Structure 1
């Protein structure tokens, strides 16, 4: 029995994002990005026309369903974009980002998008690798787009993937 506890791993369901997920999404965004989006900002985005999101909620937690990650996307006029995606640092490289991106790609396609765009900090090698494995290709580079807490600026890679 004790051995089972040592090998216990959290399991997550990827489900459509709800208003009740916004405070936890805000907290997670603040852990992963230098400028945290408030719960109100996340909620406001989620309520906009064409915006959709997915949450990764832990299914085998004892008292609650902790948020392990989330993605917010938008579709308009046949194009979709990833607005933001964040996965808990302790779950990095667990496949949760892949699952969230797959959900967003499927939903964008169902909504009629023919392509999806995203921007990523060129220094975020794990994210760039994930997006490349998902079939995204760099189409532009924005110099000094992101600013770190220490004032350092890095470029954003603009990436695109055909959905059809």
Structure 2
């Protein structure tokens, strides 16, 4: 735990837990909101079902590869810059996905989404470790994990 943790977050601790839960569930949420619209998106970009599956594979590959680096990056440059840059890249990649007119563009932007979505999951765990004493960190991580589990249940309804 960071000895200055008490001065780093001025709002109630539950708001930090909620923010970290939202960051952590972004990755699974962006997979599961996408799946119900799979066929419609495929028709709009003129893609075969196999090509559409590649959009999911590119997302998961980017997600997996960058999970190896987000922690080290956040240790080197700080938690906040990694989360902010990750969310900015995720937002831009999401806009790119929405504006994609070919399957190649969609695969590229889904890979960028995956690369950036992992920042929230990895760094949120590091922030919990930094901000809370071990007993509280365990409780907060349990709360965050509950929200993480809710994302796959709610996301298909949002995705349509």
Structure 2-normalised TM-score? 0.25
Give the number of the structure whose residues are more often strand, by fraction.
Answer: 1
Task: Give the structure, 1 or 2, with the largest relative contact order (CA under 8 Å, sep 6 or more).
Answer: 2
Give the number of the structure whose residues are more often helix, by fraction.
Answer: 2
Structure 1-normalised TM-score? 0.25
